[in-house]
Structure 1
Amino acid sequence: MITFSATLTCQYDAIFSPFSASNFQQGLAWLQNSNFDAAELCIADYNDVDVMAIARALAGHGLGCTTIASGQARKREGLSLLAEDDSLLQKTRQRIYQHIDAAAILGSFVTIGSLRATDSLLSAECYRDSLAEGLRPCMDYAQKCGVTLIIEALNRYEVSHLNSAAEMQVFHDFIGAPSHVGILWDVFHANIEDPDFAQAIQLMGSNLRHVHFADSNRAFPGYGHLDFDAIYRQLQQAGYQGAISLECLCKPSAQTVIDEAGQFIQRLRQL
């Protein structure tokens, strides 16, 4: 069964969360009242985050956690798995270990998205090798902890390589096709990189572990040109059993997201 979540921040304010970090509890109530199954949590660091308290708050609203979105640390601290400076690489790995520890408590995945970005100009082969090397200890630790890492396909304007579903599938094979590492497929990015959504979904197969919904302009679904009913049916037909999470900008407004999200997922559930 496909489940539904939406992005909330419990620490620093995030552009994808319709509620500020200070209104986290209101965000959880919104998810519950809108019949979501879970939250997708933005956590940059663990300096002031009580994971057990978050777990209790989620449970109190009948919610799970689908994944921990880790990308805020890229802009805030410059963290990257492709950092040339070894101390920065080690700091990035240590942060991912912390995410994995939190995910083990929350029963969630950990997203590797912006943390695979780099300012260096690398060939496709060098990028692939460097990312695999940067990830290796994180993959080992995630396996030890029973946590799944999901690597996000990001469009060419955000990272230079591993942009499409096909490229992500090849990379997954390159790192040994581990069962505890999957692909996060975001339809906003896919609208730029994948010419055929149904084909992309079929290609990823069981490696597709998480899906982001945002329209072609990254606004709330229905305010761009993507056909979400068709995409949802394609996921159903492929036997997808993971989560679909709203990770859209608060456009046309945060209130639009808050007001329309429940109706949106209810319509999809009825397809």
Structure 2
Amino acid sequence: MKFAICQELFVDWDWEKQCNLIAEIGYKGIELAPFAFADRPSDISAEQRAAIRKTAEDRDLEIIGLHWLLAKTEGLHLTTNNTEIKKNTADYLIELGNLCADLGGDLMVFGSPFQRDIEEGMSAEQAYENAAEVFQNSLPAIAERGVRICMEPLTTKETNFINTCADAMKLIDMVQADNFVLHQDVKAMLGAETESIPELIQKYDTKVGHFHVNDSNLLGPGMGETDYHPIFKALKESRYRGWISVEVFDYEPGAELIARDSFRYMKDVWESV
């Protein structure tokens, strides 16, 4: 299995320093938050994209893709009725797809809870239709660059749109695009699902395009109460062959400690199951 880490954890670290530590710990992949590099993808020149990619590759690291796709943006939304906003959102996703491919990645995780919330007075069915329209208008161009969008269920504490794997699969089935797949996140599954995580891994094992690891305490794997032995055992037994990527939301212990402890725990558990 290949382990990666989401790099926005390294607040105020320059890119070279991030890559040096991530590679030294033993990770093989880095997942980028676009806002960590520029306000918009178009602000990152072709030369800058090549340099970002080369810095990672020189350290035997792969930039696997992007997440937090609509974070820190204005005027973009997935489920709105506003035709112009839907078009702008689809166009922005295409921009991100080009950035992802230029950096060597092939996946984009769609979380962005605030930019997908169902507006007051809108039915859930209308929200699904609007979201499907945005993805249908962006995914073909993204596919041409060899990039997938992985739809991430989030808890009801974060958003009122797509809270379970079943919810995500409903939208995926509506869109009918080969490069639109399911994303699974441990924290989200702990907080939103009635089935166990191993059961969900088994149930959707042919649908999952990416997998995030963390804990309900917002720290990394092994830094909370979640036992990863049954989770990693289920992943080993499933048909999932993608990345396992660390995503945390509480940075207080410090980036290096979180990165090291998470990797050490994952490696030990993976080798023991």
Both structures adopt the same fold (TM-score exceeding 0.5): yes
| TM-score class, shorter | 0.7 to 0.9
2:14 aligns to what SS in structure 1? Answer: helix
- Superposed, which structure 2 residues align to 1:74-223 within 5 Å? 74-105=71-102, 106-114=104-112, 117-118=116-117, 120-121=119-120, 122-176=122-176, 178-195=177-194, 196-223=196-223
Post-superposition Cα deviations, 1:96-153, rounded to whole Å, max 9, x if no partner, equal 1111112222132112211651351332211211110111111111222221111111
Deviation (angstroms), 1:171:
2.3
Seen in structure 2, the aligned counterparts of structure 1 residues 181 and 21 have a Cα distance that, compared at 3 Å, is farther
Is the 8 Å Cα contact of residues 165 and 203 (structure 1) preserved in structure 2?
Answer: no
Identity %: 20
Deviation (angstroms), 1:265:
3.0
Paired position in structure 1 for 2:246: 246
Separation in structure 1 between the aligned mates of residue 204 and residue 65 of structure 2, nearest angstrom: 19
What stretches of structure 1 of length at least 5 have no aligned partner? Answer: 10-16
Is the 8 Å Cα contact of residues 185 and 213 (structure 2) preserved in structure 1?
Answer: yes
RMSD between aligned residues: 2.0
Deviation (angstroms), 1:78:
4.8
Is the 8 Å Cα contact of residues 81 and 130 (structure 2) preserved in structure 1?
Answer: no
Post-superposition Cα deviations, 1:5-55, rounded to whole Å, max 9, x if no partner, equal 10114xxxxxxx1x1254221111111011111100010322543221111
Is the 8 Å Cα contact of residues 169 and 203 (structure 1) preserved in structure 2?
Answer: no
TM-score, length basis structure 1: 0.88
Separation in structure 2 between the aligned mates of residue 267 and residue 78 of structure 1, nearest angstrom: 44
Separation in structure 1 between the aligned mates of residue 146 and residue 259 of structure 2, nearest angstrom: 34
Separation in structure 1 between the aligned mates of residue 75 and residue 22 of structure 2, nearest angstrom: 31
Paired position in structure 1 for 2:257: 256
TM-score, length basis structure 2: 0.87
Paired position in structure 2 for 1:34: 25
Is the 8 Å Cα contact of residues 68 and 103 (structure 1) preserved in structure 2?
Answer: yes
| Shift >6 Å, 4+ stretches | none
Paired position in structure 2 for 1:267: 268
What stretches of structure 2 of length at least 5 have no aligned partner? Answer: none
**Aligned residue identity for 2:130:** S
